[in-house]
Structure 1
Amino acid sequence: MLLITNVTAVTVDSQRRIITDAAIAVKGGRIADIGKAADLAPRHPDAELLEGHGMLALPGLIDAHAHSDQALLRGAADDLSWRPYLQEVIWPLLSRRTQEDAQISLRLCMLEMIKSGTTCFVDSIVPSHYDFDALAQAVQEMGMRGVLAKYVLPDALFGRGESPVDTGGFSGEDESLADAERGIGVWHGAAGGRLQVWLGPLVPREEPPASASPGFYRRVSRLAARHGTGITVHFAGTIDDPPFFQREFGMLPAEFARRYDLLGPNVLLINGTWFSEEEIPILAETDTRLVHSPSANMKMGEGFAKVPQMRNAGVTVALGCDAAANNNCHDMIREMKAASLLHNVVMMDPTTLTAEDALEMATIEGARAIGRRDQLGSLEVGKQADMILVDLKQPHTMPIHDPIANLVYAAHGGDVDTVIVAGQVLMQGRQVLVADEAAILEEAQERGLALLKRAGIEVAPAWPME
């Protein structure tokens, strides 16, 4: 048994208790006890002690929208709107990556997540030619909790000449779905349940041509239901999407999703920046979940989801960092602040999205968004022991009057001291224990430069370098 002592525990339980002078007992990968340290110490006299030094203990953060394969592209696609971002940079670079590039990119992404307090992530598009087995093995080795969404493609994308979207060497929809089913069979629930395999269908959009294939999305939904797994898909994320759905199908985006089985409690929609007020009740009635990436939305100038209205209507909204290419980091603490400030200024009301709201989105609502609220997202007896310790005794976070306000508005990922997943300590004293940090950074730098060179893309500062 492990006893984490001398912490302030932000439980995010149903009462939203904050326990000072607290201790947390961990046994068998789960939280066995939580309360005042003075009470827990005599109950667990033989436990191994982990001294918290007065730090803030809170549930591990959940990044519900990530693109691990873009970690090597950090800084390569700045100051671009979504169309040139994809067409001129992302697609050319991703088409030239190797399996080894994808693996080090994932390890770099997880390293950054661990060092900034993320314990669980959703990788929304994982093509099969990356060597899915090797990627899943990497998640298992580094101790994180991951949802890997297998990229699946409709027949409409095949047989139409050269496609900007990587088809992964498949001949058609059947082969794409069959490969995803194999991945689910091998890896879903692996690593003691830390690893899940979902489906990540191609975004329904005018570009690439005919990607909104109704029958395909129904097949994806049936496959997910058969295996008891989830679906995550980029949806209504650009200003061009609603006119496309109206023109081609005579429906609003949410109406299309409802008609063709892309809504429900096992569906996590990405962005949803252009859902109208009229569509919010559809999301709420179907218990569909959405993930919001405010930093990427603001950086690309692509709009923002109606998060306050959605949450008020009962829609579960999680937070995600998106990608190193358009965020440009995976720091969920900074993302919480971005979410709060964005919606407060939009609504011209500083109480629109509070620090507490943002923390809920990054923890308990993130857990609900991936169907794991009974296991993750709060510090409660019986739940998985996924937690982080944050050192707020820093010049930029002192004095502490309200620990949650200081966490969300003043802290950053570099203040995370300790990370624990399923009872395993992944980082302590900011030393990562599950990977060779220096080796990952060195290989990432080498492969990142080589990838840009192969693609013929040059990136340099706008200001002169001597």
Structure 2
Amino acid sequence: MILIKNALIVTQDQDHTVIRNGYIQVDGDHISALGPMEELRDQEIPGAEVIDANDQIAIPGFVCCHNHLYSAIVRSLPYSGYDDVDFSFVSWMERFWFDKLENKVNNDDVYIGTLINCMEQVKRGITTTADTVEGPNALPGTLFAAGKAAQESGMRAVLSFETTGRISEENARLGLEENINFVEAMRKNPGRIEGRIGVHTTYTCSTELIQAARREADRLGCGLQMHLCDDRWHSFDTTLRFGKRAVKYLEDIGFLGPDVLFAHASYIDPLQDPEILAKYDCKISHQAVSNAIFGFWPNMVPLIRAGVTVALGIDGMTQSMFEIMRAAQMIHRIRYENLELLSDSEVFNMATMNGARCLQKEKEIGSLEVGKKADIVLLDNTSPVPVFEGNVYNFLVSVADSSHVDTVLVDGQVVVRHKKHQLVDEAAMREECRERAKDFWKRNGWPIP
């Protein structure tokens, strides 16, 4: 049992309750009690590990709804892919990302990249991630390599393999089978790691493949993850092939539903698609930083106003949900020239409870409440002004960053203590990742230091 005392607690419950000086009692993997310190006085809890959170803020662990965890192995490449190319995102994907990255990844790359990214993200307060694993030529076993790494990191994860039809029909079959086998394997030993059915996107998958993924998700009751319109080409492609944009196409082939988590939705039809997505209770993960890096300017406001659940994701481009929250808020305020758009509390909710809803895990994670999983982050309160109920959300979104994260619990286990990961040897892991990166660069003929 763990007892966290003297914390400013941001619960993210239905009433957005903030407890100025409170305690959280952790029993096993769940929160068994919480409230103001006055309720705890004169109560002894024999054998409990006490964490004094004086001058700290307790928040629910962040929920990242879109990731490519293996991507640690392909950071800071010695080649950009832009040289002598008439740039567009889809041409860059075809000429560079698919050919030189995804197609050359092996399962050792996936394992170490996933492990180091999970370690870095949980140290920054992300306790749950959804991931779509890439690497069609690494099949089979690719999703299992990622699952092993996520398990060792102490993180909670919902994983899928990015089934694609761009290689061959046989490869598409292998991708779908990888998802099915992983979902079934994780259910035999339930824990922090779960599976979903992953599909790459509309322009790399046939109608038959997308429908097959939908059928398997229905049979297994596990949900789906898919990229949606992160580039205009997605809708150009479906319009050319079927005479309708991507969202309408997916509706007509029976793919949409409340268990579908889409990533990006940067170039949907803002007049019709939000209503369609809301009708089927589809979920959206918004990647503000990665979209901006690639020159996209996504607009989540029509989706939010239509009632679509929108959460936040990393997409492998940064490890900090604090950066993501600020970027999401800024790009929408700049677009609309409205300084009150996406309030601090709304953006923080996107990073916590909305993330839980997107993964259909709102009864387990996303807030600090009795009975929920003990996924808890303690932030150092180094503010030069008092932080209390009236300004805590502004501190969390506009001031705090990853350096404030001190202690992280996942499933009731202390995974990070005083900024140090407790389950992995960080130095050894980084050295291994550097060696794997050099091996990967050799496969592409890139310079080695």
| Partner Cα distance (1:406, 1:252) in 2 | 41
Query: Relative to structure 2, which stretch is displaced further, 237-246 or 83-92?
Result: 83-92
Q: Which residue of 2 aligns with 1:297?
A: 291
Q: Which runs of 4+ in 1 moved over 6 A?
A: none
- Quick check: 1:214 aligned with 2:207? yes
The change in CA–CA distance for 1:457 and 1:313 in structure 2 (over 3 A counts) is: same
Q: Which residue of 1 aligns with 2:89?
A: 82
| Partner Cα distance (1:66, 1:377) in 2 | 18
Q: Which residue of 2 aligns with 1:204?
A: 202
1:102–1:130 contact (8 Å) kept in structure 2: no
1:125–1:148 contact (8 Å) kept in structure 2: yes
Equivalences, count? 435
Match of 1:356 among 325, 345, 348: 345
| Partner Cα distance (1:41, 1:386) in 2 | 24
Q: Which residue of 2 aligns with 1:106?
A: 114
Match of 2:153 among 130, 135, 142: 142
SS in 1 for 2:443: helix
SS in 1 for 2:65: strand
- 2:247 corresponds to which letter in structure 1? A
Q: Which residue of 1 aligns with 2:218?
A: 225
- Quick check: 1:331 aligned with 2:320? yes
Q: With structure 2 as the length reference, what TM-score do the two structures score?
A: 0.91
Consecutive unaligned residues in structure 2, runs of 5 or more: 83-87
- 1:150 corresponds to which letter in structure 2? F
1:79–1:300 contact (8 Å) kept in structure 2: no
1:436: how far off? 0.6
Q: Which residue of 2 aligns with 1:158?
A: 168
CA deviations 1:2-41 (Å, max 9, x no partner) are 1111111000000001101110001121111111123124
Query: Relative to structure 2, which stretch is displaced further, 176-185 or 348-357?
Result: 176-185
| Partner Cα distance (2:65, 2:354) in 1 | 10
| Partner Cα distance (1:274, 1:188) in 2 | 36
- 1:2 corresponds to which letter in structure 2? I
The change in CA–CA distance for 1:414 and 1:87 in structure 2 (over 3 A counts) is: farther
- 1:110 corresponds to which letter in structure 2? C
SS in 2 for 1:317: strand
The change in CA–CA distance for 1:217 and 1:44 in structure 2 (over 3 A counts) is: farther
1:193: how far off? 2.9
1:217–1:261 contact (8 Å) kept in structure 2: no
1:218: how far off? 1.3
Q: Which residue of 1 aligns with 2:329?
A: 340
| Partner Cα distance (1:350, 1:459) in 2 | 46
| Partner Cα distance (1:456, 1:84) in 2 | 21
Q: Which residue of 2 aligns with 1:377?
A: 366
2:70–2:146 contact (8 Å) kept in structure 1: no
What is the identity percentage for the equivalent residue pairs of Structure 1 and Structure 2?
Answer: 28
Match of 2:233 among 217, 229, 240: 240
1:84: how far off? 5.2
- Quick check: 1:57 aligned with 2:44? no
1:392–1:398 contact (8 Å) kept in structure 2: no
Q: With structure 1 as the length reference, what TM-score do the two structures score?
A: 0.88
- Quick check: 1:410 aligned with 2:368? no
- Quick check: 1:185 aligned with 2:184? yes
Two-structure CA RMSD over aligned residues (Å): 2.1
CA deviations 1:362-384 (Å, max 9, x no partner) are 10000000010011100010111
| Partner Cα distance (1:220, 1:383) in 2 | 31
